[in-house]
A = this chain, B = another copy of it.
Amino acid sequence: MAPLDLALRQELLALQDAYISTLDTDALEQWPDMFIEDCLYEIIPKENVDQNLPAPVIYCDSKKMLRDRVVSLRHANIFQPVVYRHFISGLSMQSVENNTVAMQSSYLVINTSQLGQSVVYQTGRYDDVVLRTSDGWRFKSKRAIYDTSRIQTALAIPI
């Protein structure tokens, strides 16, 4: 890998770490700000992606929708105080243009129930397009393509 690519890789890894840290510290109000206004965010089963059948479990196509989702999570939903932790590995860049990078990484989410037991909640692949803005890197699109189908579809939190 060329030195420039390695430097870029560090920035992208820092972005991914910031993303999951925002989720895992329950700083959900800051989560939409990691996206550009005109963004795409979806959670979709791998099976559907493989068969080219769009049917995301969650679909948001603007930062406003992400904000609405957070408000609804905070105010409307009744859910157990479950703890989630995200782990990322295997980042690879698919394409690098001037200020836009397409990249993938594997994610693992462990959750701990109110009873205090920790189990694998979900694994999958992040399929991301990120943009370098004057405020730093932001997500133009983020697709969480999950392997695990035995999850509750009433997903409480962003992945």
Which A residues are closer than 8 A to B by beta carbons?
1, 6-7, 9-11, 14, 17-18, 20-21, 24-25, 46, 83, 85-92, 104, 106, 108, 110, 112, 115-125, 136, 147-150
Contacts and interface: CB of A to CB of B under 8 A. Distances in A.
B106 A87 contact: yes
One complex includes copies of this chain to the number of 3
Contacts of A24: 90, 106, 125
B149 A123 contact: no
Contacts of A14: 1, 6, 9
Closest A-B pairs by Cβ, 7 of them: A116-B149, A112-B147, A87-B89, A21-B92, A118-B148, A21-B90, A83-B147
A119 B150 CA distance: 11
12 contacts: A9-B14, A17-B92, A21-B92, A85-B89, A85-B90, A85-B106, A85-B147, A87-B106, A87-B108, A116-B147, A116-B150, A120-B120
A25 B122 CA distance: 17
Contact of A136 (B1, B9, B90): B1
A87 B10 CA distance: 18
Given A25-B104, A83-B123, A85-B89, 15 more contacts: A1-B11, A1-B14, A6-B7, A6-B14, A17-B90, A20-B89, A85-B147, A86-B90, A112-B123, A112-B147, A112-B148, A115-B149, A117-B148, A118-B123, A120-B120
